[in-house]
Each structure stands twice: as C-alpha cells, then as structure tokens.
Structure 1
Amino acid sequence: MKISQKLQQAHAGPNPPPATFSFEFFVPKTSQGVQNLYDRMDRMYDLNPIFIDITWNAGGRSSTLTNEMVYTAQSTLGLETCMHLTCTNMKVELIDEALDKAFKSGCQNILALRGDPPLDGSESTGDFKYAKDLIKYIRKKYGDHFNIGVAGYPEGHPEEESEIKTLHYLKEKCDVGADFIVTQMFYDVDNFIDWCKKIRKIGVEIPIIPGIMPISTYAAFVRRAKWSEIAIPQHFLDVLDPIKDDDYLVRERGTELVSDMCIKLLHSGYVNHLHFYTMNLEKATVMILEKLNLIEAVKSHDVVGSTELPWRKSLHPGRSKESIRPIFWQNRKYSYVTRTATWDEFPNGRWGDSRSPAFGDIDLCATELLRQSPKRALELWGTPQSLKDMSDIVVSYLQGDLKALPWSDGPVGDDTKIIVDDLIHLNKKGFFTMNSQPSLNAIKSSEKVFGWGPKNGYVYQKQYLEFFCHKDVIAKLLYKIDSFNTKEGDTSSSVISYYAVDKDGHLTTNCKDDDINAVTWGVFPGEEILQPTIVEKTSFLAWKDEVYRLFSEWGNVLGSNLAGADPEKIKGFLDLMNTLSNDFVLCNLVNNDFIDDNSTIFKLIEELDVKDLA
C-alpha cells in the first residue's frame, strides 16, 4: 500500500494512535550482514511500523543489493517497503531496471533523491541532474503506481546558502509529483517547526515526516551531526558532554533527550509520524518508542481487527492472495517463499503441486539454508558431541535462552508456552522437536496469542507435533499409534495421522496420497471458513529435503571453520551430524480430535518408556 494512504488510514477515525513511526535501514557491506539485517528487520517489524525504507548506494553491487533487499522485504518478509532511488551518475537504463524490479516486487513507494555528487567535483554523468527530473520520469512512465517521497532540509542544504532557493527547490519537487517529505536528521525542534511554517506558507501541503536519529554513543552523535552540518542544541551538549565516556549513560540520557524532542514535534501540529534512522541498530530506537509509549499504543490500536492470518502475508503481487500454507515451513518463512516461488498451483489455489517440474527442486532455496554465519552458529550452538548435547541445545531454545535453531529462524513463540514442559520432556528423551502447536477449540479471534482473522470470530487448531527421532524408536511409536487408532473405532479416518520419512525418502504414513489436512481454521461472521495451515504429503517431502540438508550444512560450515580446534572435538561433532542424518527419521503427528486436550500425543510417546539421554 502507498505510504500516504497508510498514514491517512492510521490517523483517521475517532481514536487514532498518538503517532505512527517507520524505520530506515542501509545496505550492509557483506552478505552475512544482509542475512542478519533481514532477521532484525523482521523482528523490528513486529513493533508495527507503518513502513520500512532501504537506502540506495548507487553503482556496483550495493545498488543491486538494494533491489534484492526490497524484493525480499516485500515478498518474503511481508514488510511494507519504500526504496530509495538516487539519480546521480545513474543512466536511464539503470533507473528503468531498478523501477521495474521494485514494481514487480509489489513495492509502491520510492524515495526519489538526487544523491551525492561525484567526489572529484565533476558533473554527474547520469541522465537526470536533479531529483525533480527523476520524479517527472517516474510519473511519466508509471503514472500514479508509485507513492513518491522527497528529501527535506530543515537546516538548509549544504550546497545552497540561500534558504529561499532551498524552499523553492522543495516546492518544485512537490509540484511535479511528490507525495510526502522525509527530512534530514535534526535536533533543533524550534528551527524545525519554523521550517514547517515556511513550507506550508509557500503552498506545500503534503505530509512532513521528520527524520529522527537516535543517540547510541557520544562519538557517533557528534560525528553524524557534523557530517550532516546540523546544529546541536546547547542543552543536548550540557547533558551528554559530562558523561561522553559512558556509552550506557549516553544512550539512556540520549533516549530522554530525543524522546522529549519527539513529544514537542507531535504537539506542534505539523507532525503525526516519526521516521527513525536506525543505522541498522535496534536498541536505541526501541528505547525511544518505549519512552513515548508508542509500541503498546500502536499494537493495541492494531488489535481491533486482529491479523488476517496466523502468519504474515507476502506483499509480492503474485503471492498476496495466498491463504494456505504448509505447516512445515512455519518456522522457516525465508526458505518457504523462496522455494515455492515458481511452484505450479493446484486449480483450487493450493500450491506445492508435485506435477510441477519445479516442485521440490532444492536449488530453489537459498544457496545456504543455515541462516547463521560460522561464527554465530558456533556462538549459538557450539559443537555438540552427543545426542544429549543436542537435546540440551533444543531445551535451551524452548526455555528462551537461545533465539534460534538451525531449523527455526526466530525465538520460540508465546503459543508454545502451554505445551513447553511436554516438549522439553520429549527432547530429553531424544525426540528433537521441530514444530508444534496445541489444540484450540473456539478461541476468540481477538485473543492476543492465538487470535487471528476478522473480529468477532473463533479460531480452532488440531494438536500438531513434528520431531526428529531415531528410526528404531519411531517404528515402535507408529505401531502404538496404529493400535490406538484401532481402539478408537473407525480406522478409515485415523484419530492420529502421521508421516515419517528418512533421508532417502522412505515414507511411512496412514494418510492417502491426496489427503490435505487443515490443522488451523477460523469461523467468522459473514465469511467462508478459512483454513490457512495444512499438512499434506508433497510439501512434507520437500521439507524433508531441507531438514536433512540443514544438518549437512551445519556440519560443513562448522567443520571447515574450526581451524586449530581439537581434532577429536571436530570429529565428534561431524559424527553426530552423520548420525542425525543417517539414523534419524523426520515425523509429524496430528491429533484430529481437536476437542481433545493436549496430552494424548505426549502420553502415547511416554508409554514407550524411552529413557532420558545420558
């Protein structure tokens, strides 16, 4: 959606939030930095910003990365994204390529900038000299498809001494098609308010979005102000100078100063939205939002209609209407959207058709499935030597001490808490849990943890459990499940359904080939029943390939990056990875009696009397 539309919607109605906000991120210099930033962007988007934007570094790999990051943010992470686009030293062919990629990714927002002039003082070799020329070109080629933002300079432009001319240039950009203004960073609020009065006086009526730079360290604070040629109010220096060597205190006091600045902005009548220059950091921005009470305010404002689905939708135009997702990728959203990008669709709208020539091709995934650098993987998980070590890692994750696992991109969710003790118990016995959900029977759609969909509805879930288990144990478990189903009566429709598969693809199941089992659904007034999460054979087998490859990559990544480590320790780690790949089976269980409590599956496993790992 367009930023101007989102702002209008957010602040319309009788009870608008006190303010909305957005985040800016810049393109990292390394591929691992990009991967880590995706994690941070995804996590910070849970704070409910109106949008994020990604800077443009003209020329070379960085500009290509801007397009790639916009595409990933829109398509994979489902984040409303604004793409910076500069025209200095940019030929029209490069501009066309960037706009085409943004258009195809579903991005509807562009921040049109001139960009920095050549460092050698020469004239730009691009086809557009000024931002207004770029705006004209975008409007001519794409009409109103893009919402176009422009830069504003409350303290003047460093290349233009005349304030009148600077205001005139801003008015020209607005007259040729700009939709909103994002300002340069500043700390002098009084000057900013005076500037707002001036641009309103010359007829500029589009939204003004102030650029807010949090204060993390004293050195960075002074350096950025000097580089941007902005004034630092004396009361900022009076507070920060005496404590400039204490980074913790600087951030604390800086948060108070910037928060007070934001409050004054919001009371000025010119501003209802704050744009944070995060510098790809998280804590300082979050501290300001907490100080302003905006995080909870925005969240509570958004809860009225709850969320559309129990997972964030893609904003790619070709995927925005997806309403069903295999549960196997619940914790691996990045690989899911990448893998399924070219899968053919079933006639009824489900994807994952095994008839497609693209189905299950492991090359559709990212080159590396393990989303951690060797250093970070070592910090998170070490070099486990035994099944007991592996169990300890998963238990630590379930207890909230670890924020990721090789097969889970983010921390354990609140929806797991009601069964977490059972999951911990299983992992201590060598059932390494990968995904799970408790059963739910008519939970209100507005409920904070489990709710989703339109308001005044009810949501339901079947108990689901997915785990890695030794092949000798799984044979006994499946025999017990078959016996349990027989006792329950109708064997044509199993109470507990299962899939179990080894590395080589040998599958054991009590489901039919074309069975599609909805494990989450919702009932809402005036709506068809929605069934957004499913279990079915073809997607499960594709997920199997990814799981086993994860163990292989974990072994390869760490095994080749432990130079100087104890050879026996390396060997023990690699032997464990081989054991997990060759002797363990991936299994999922669904209790189709959704009004049953959450103990049935756990009790069946407990009856196997498997001892805790030594």
Structure 2
Amino acid sequence: MKVSEKISQAIASGTPWFSLEFFPPKTEQGLVNLYDRIERMAKLGPLFVAVTWGAGGSTAQRTLELCAMCQSVFGIETVMHLTCTNMDKAMVDRALVEAKGAGIRNILALRGDPPRGTEYWTACDGGFTYAADLVRYIRDQYGDYFCIGVAGYPEGHIENTDKDADFQFFVEKVKAGADFVVSQLVYDYGVFVAWERRCRENGVDVPIAPGVLPIQSYQSFRRLAHLTKTRVPEELKIRVEEVKGNDQAIKDLGVEHAVQMVGGLQAAGIMGVHLTTLNLETTVQRVLASLGMAHGSGITRGASSASLVAAPSNTASAMVPPDSGSLATKRAWDDFPNGRWGDARSPAFGSLDAYGAMLKFDAQGAASTWGRPQSTSDISDLFAKYVAGEIPSLPWSDEPLLAETQRIRDELLRINKLGYWTLASQPALDAVSSSDATYGWGPRGGYIYQKAFVECFVPALMFPAFLSRLQSASPRITYYASNMQGDFVTNAYSAQNDTENATAVTALTWGVFPGRAVVQPTLIDKMNFLAWRTEAFQTWHEWANMFSRESSEARFLDNMASECWLVNVVDNEFKNPDAIWEMFK
C-alpha cells in the first residue's frame, strides 16, 4: 500500500501514528541482530518503516536486503531511501527494478551527500542534479506505481544560506511529483509547526511527517546537532550539559524531550511523527509507551522507566551473547554504545557514520584550519596543536578533545611530536565514582573502570620497532594493527592456534552499578577495528581531495594513507596508569 494513502487514512480518522527509521548496519552480525530488533519493534504498530541509503550507493545491496525483509517477511510497509548523488542512471534503474521486485512501492527520493573520498556531489548521467530530477525520472519511468516522498527542511538546507530561495526549491520539488514529505529533525516543535503552516499556505498539500530523533547519548546528540546545524533550544542545551556524565539520565531526558515534542505537535493538530531510531530500541519504546502509542507491545501508557529499561549487558559473546537470555536483555544489551568502539555485533554500531561524512569543511576552510601538509613533521605539528587545544578539530575528529584527556595531555603531546598521530585515547581508571563530573557515566552509586588505551597512525618506517615493543610486552599489552592494503596483526586471540577466526573481545571500559550486571560499553575486537580502519584510511584521501589532484599536498596525503599503519594499543594493567607510555619511544 502507498504510504501517502496510509497517512491520509490515519489523518482522516484522527488517530495518532508513527513511523520508524533504520539504517543498514556495518557488519553481518549487526544486520542479523537488527532483524530480531525490527521484528520486536514491528509489534509496536508503526505505520511504516524507512531504511536509509548510503552516499553514492555505498549500502545499496544491504539497504535493498533490509527493505525486502521488512516488506515481505515482517509485513511492514517499507520506504526505501534512494539518493542520486554520484550514482549514474544505470545504478538508479537497477535499484528501482530490485525495489519493485521485492514488493516495495514507496521511495524517499533524495539528492544525498557525497560518498567518503569525494569533496563534491556530482550530477548523474541523465540529469540527476537535484532530488526533484530524481522524482521526475521515477514518475516518467514508473507512472504512479511508486509512492514518492521527499525531504523537507524546516530550518532550511545547511548548504543554502538564502532560506527563502531554499523554501521555494522545496515547493518545486514537491510539485515535481512527490506524494509525501519527511522532515529533517528539529528539537523545537514550534519550528516545525510554523514551517508546516507555511507549506500549506504555499500549496504543499501532501502529508508531511515531522522528523524526531530522541536523544540517545551525549556524544551522538552533540555530533548530530553539529552535522545537521539544527537549532537546539537553550533550555535543552543547559539540561543536556547538566547530565552529560550520566548516560541513563541523558536517555531519560531524551525520552522526556521526545514526548514533549510529539505532544506539542499533537496539540497543534499534527498527529503523526517519524522517529529516527539509530537502530536502538528501548528509548523509542519508552517514548511510544508514554504517549500511549505502543500498540500490541504489552507496554502500557505511563509505564515506569524501571519496567522498560533492563540492565544493559554490553558484554562479549562468551559472556552474554545478544541473542540469548530474556526479552528485556535483548532489548537493552546495547543501550549504552560508547563511541565507535562499541560492540560491532550491535545493530547500532557505526550509527553516527550512517548520518553524514566526517569532513564538512570546504577546501578553503580545510587549508585554513589544518594547513597545507607536505611532510611528516607537518602532520606531527598539526596533531600536537590539536592536543594542545590550539586548533578545534582534525580530519578524524570534528570536536575538541574531551575533558578526560587532561590527565594524559602531556604524554599525548610528547608522542604526537615523535610521530605517533593519535586518533583516540583514554586514561586508566580504577573505581572512579560514576557521578564524577569528568569520568563518570551510567547510573549514580556505581564505579567506573578503564584500561589505558591509545589509537594512532604510525608511519611505516617507525612501525617495525613499535610492533616489536608491543609484542615484547604481551600479554600486558593487547594490540591491533592494520594498513590500508589489508595487512593485519594482533595478539588478541580467544583460542590458541586459531589466529584467523578466534580473535578475542577486549573490554576497554566497564561499570559496576547497584542492582545491575557489569556494563561494558566500550569494546575492541577485530570486527570493529577493521570496520573503523576503512574509514580512518579513507579520511586521508578525503583530506587530499581538498587540494588540487596534482598538488604536492594531495600526493603527500595519499602517500600517507598508503604507508601508515593504524594501531590500537590497550594496557590491561589498569592499576598502573602510566605503563602504556613506555611503548611510545
């Protein structure tokens, strides 16, 4: 059934409705676990679900597979995102043919972001310059078979500073043949209500679903607000900062704010909402339960947080596998993802990467902030400036260092100047209070533990001696290392004599809380290390593309991608916080 018809029926009946958005996980195990999650969430009664499409078709096959499963196996009306950026006409045609073959009748037509490794989006063969061109093409090829949706931007698209002109482009996009609209997320329901009214006054009469993203964690909130440039109300900013060290409090605030958002929209007569899940489950369930919209789930309106949030168990598979145990455990085993070193088996692994590439500078901005590197000493100086707080970002990190880095800042400065270019790090902790303003997280009354950890690029000439030191310190030191060519070495094996398949999972951070199982939100294993490796090396090329292809800067940065090793070092002696620095000479 067409989504526009389902929305129209819900509007006519005055029934509140919701839809859910998922993204294709980076790993096969994550996809399998997402199927379990969607099967449970389907029982909540979404009007439809949507699945994102990676830039340039980078997730095309997995998106189609996920859409087909939702449509055919789980029986949920499914909207497939489709972008035309850096995709030629043949790729678009193939995607539409496969969508139709899978019984999918709903497409969200988007221009999309450029894929990683390219500076600019480019038009496809056949004239796909804007999303409106894709809408017209689908209409021309398939008539009314597909129900076509487009994106709307209540605060204007971030690339267009002329907001009035941007709005007119949106109106023209709808009139090109769109049947419904899904809006960019907003954190103030009044912004959406005013924009929706403006749409109606300008002849946009198709259903419009407001996008709402419940806050799941402090870092994801900061990152997504930064990427989308969405305005955050001052009161919400203050409240988020007040509880940023307490993951559960952040989630509670996220539920409260999302409930207020949806309630405000409903009070204004807007009865539907499109919820971005980030492939997580419990927070969305709590929002819908509080609103009385969780149909068929066994969850009742006003259910307490305690009854909806199980003790999370982000543990290695040998301890609590994600597909075992009670339903509550299945719902909550990845409730506390912690940066890119969460569990790679989680459906939410890599969630931030799914919603935008890392580099948002243009060429001029990149050169102004990061200079014009042509030697390894230039790179060492750049990383040292970042650690010292003299520049606000790196190509691999779009925000300043966290406060916890202060404890190890001097050592980070030293090793970056030596040529170990650090991408991530943390100090060792031994039973720090979970309420500590700098290092605490999770519920109050607990204790936090951390192993010292450093992730860095190491130039090829330095790598052999560095690896020798790491090997001599085993098993105290656990390491993972790989280059762009795919060479991989580690000493982390869970089974003796099986170095190919049985790599172990190393917990970097864990917490012990009253009445809960041990929570391990930060893990490192071969799967998540290699998933991040691809992006880490691609960023060198993305940075190189900020310069002329024939420039010495571009050649140097491309060479660095080819010659460096990415190395992850964990010191398992967390009671000896300074031992790890002996490795870096």
TM-score normalised by structure 1 residue count = 0.49
String of CA shifts for 1:488-530, please: whole Å, max 9, x gaps. Answer: xxxxxxxxxxxxxxxxxxxxxxxxxxxxxxxxxxxxxxxxxxx
Aligned length: 321
Q: Counterpart in 2 of 1:64?
A: 61
- In the TM superposition, residue 189 of structure 1 has moved relative to its aligned partner by 2.0
Partner SS for 2:86: coil
- In the TM superposition, residue 59 of structure 1 has moved relative to its aligned partner by 4.0
Q: Counterpart in 2 of 1:97?
A: 94
Q: Counterpart in 1 of 2:260?
A: 260
- In the TM superposition, residue 106 of structure 1 has moved relative to its aligned partner by 0.7
- In the TM superposition, residue 9 of structure 1 has moved relative to its aligned partner by 2.4
Q: Counterpart in 1 of 2:471?
A: none
- In the TM superposition, residue 163 of structure 1 has moved relative to its aligned partner by 1.5
Compared CA separation, residues 60 and 110, structure 1 to 2 (3 A): closer
Q: Counterpart in 1 of 2:248?
A: 248
Matched, 1:379 2:320: yes
Partner SS for 1:210: strand
Q: Counterpart in 2 of 1:106?
A: 103
Q: Counterpart in 1 of 2:145?
A: 145
**2 CA distance for matches of 1:196 and 1:92?**
33
Compared CA separation, residues 57 and 186, structure 1 to 2 (3 A): same
Equivalent residue letter for 2:105: Q
Matched, 1:563 2:495: yes
Identity within the alignment, %: 40
Partner SS for 1:150: strand
- In the TM superposition, residue 130 of structure 1 has moved relative to its aligned partner by 0.5
1:48·1:299 contact (CA, 8 Å) conserved in 2? no
**1 CA distance for matches of 2:24 and 2:321?**
25
1:20·1:298 contact (CA, 8 Å) conserved in 2? no
Q: How does 1:338-357 map to 2 (within 5 A)?
A: none
**1 CA distance for matches of 2:11 and 2:203?**
22
Equivalent residue letter for 2:111: R
- In the TM superposition, residue 199 of structure 1 has moved relative to its aligned partner by 1.3
Compared CA separation, residues 199 and 276, structure 1 to 2 (3 A): same
- In the TM superposition, residue 77 of structure 1 has moved relative to its aligned partner by 2.2
Q: How does 1:153-232 map to 2 (within 5 A)?
A: 153-232=153-232
Q: How does 1:81-96 map to 2 (within 5 A)?
A: 81-96=78-93
- In the TM superposition, residue 90 of structure 1 has moved relative to its aligned partner by 0.7
Q: How does 1:414-453 map to 2 (within 5 A)?
A: none
String of CA shifts for 1:16-65, please: whole Å, max 9, x gaps. Answer: 43x10011001111111111111111110110100111000134652111
**2 CA distance for matches of 1:179 and 1:133?**
15
2:181·2:208 contact (CA, 8 Å) conserved in 1? yes
String of CA shifts for 1:60-102, please: whole Å, max 9, x gaps. Answer: 6521111111112222222211000000111111101100111
Compared CA separation, residues 562 and 78, structure 1 to 2 (3 A): farther
Q: How does 1:286-297 map to 2 (within 5 A)?
A: 286-296=285-295
Q: Counterpart in 2 of 1:35?
A: 32
**2 CA distance for matches of 1:175 and 1:298?**
39
- In the TM superposition, residue 12 of structure 1 has moved relative to its aligned partner by 3.2
1:58·1:86 contact (CA, 8 Å) conserved in 2? yes
1:150·1:181 contact (CA, 8 Å) conserved in 2? yes
Compared CA separation, residues 53 and 299, structure 1 to 2 (3 A): farther
Equivalent residue letter for 1:278: T
**2 CA distance for matches of 1:378 and 1:224?**
32
- In the TM superposition, residue 218 of structure 1 has moved relative to its aligned partner by 1.8
2:213·2:277 contact (CA, 8 Å) conserved in 1? yes
Compared CA separation, residues 8 and 247, structure 1 to 2 (3 A): same
Partner SS for 1:295: coil
**1 CA distance for matches of 2:278 and 2:330?**
22
Structure exhibiting the larger radius of gyration computed from Cα positions: 1
Structure 2 unmatched ranges of 5 or more = 300-314, 332-492, 503-585
Compared CA separation, residues 277 and 403, structure 1 to 2 (3 A): closer
Partner SS for 1:12: helix
**2 CA distance for matches of 1:70 and 1:36?**
15
- In the TM superposition, residue 122 of structure 1 has moved relative to its aligned partner by 3.8
Q: Counterpart in 2 of 1:283?
A: 282
1:81·1:109 contact (CA, 8 Å) conserved in 2? yes
Matched, 1:25 2:22: yes
**1 CA distance for matches of 2:177 and 2:322?**
52
**2 CA distance for matches of 1:132 and 1:256?**
36
The CA RMSD measured in Å over matched residues stands at: 3.0
String of CA shifts for 1:447-477, please: whole Å, max 9, x gaps. Answer: xxxxxxxxxxxxxxxxxxxxxxxxxxxxxxx
Q: Counterpart in 2 of 1:494?
A: none
Equivalent residue letter for 2:101: K
**1 CA distance for matches of 2:196 and 2:9?**
23
String of CA shifts for 1:534-557, please: whole Å, max 9, x gaps. Answer: xxxxxxxxxxxxxxxxxxxxxxxx
Equivalent residue letter for 2:495: A
Partner SS for 1:160: coil
Compared CA separation, residues 253 and 143, structure 1 to 2 (3 A): same
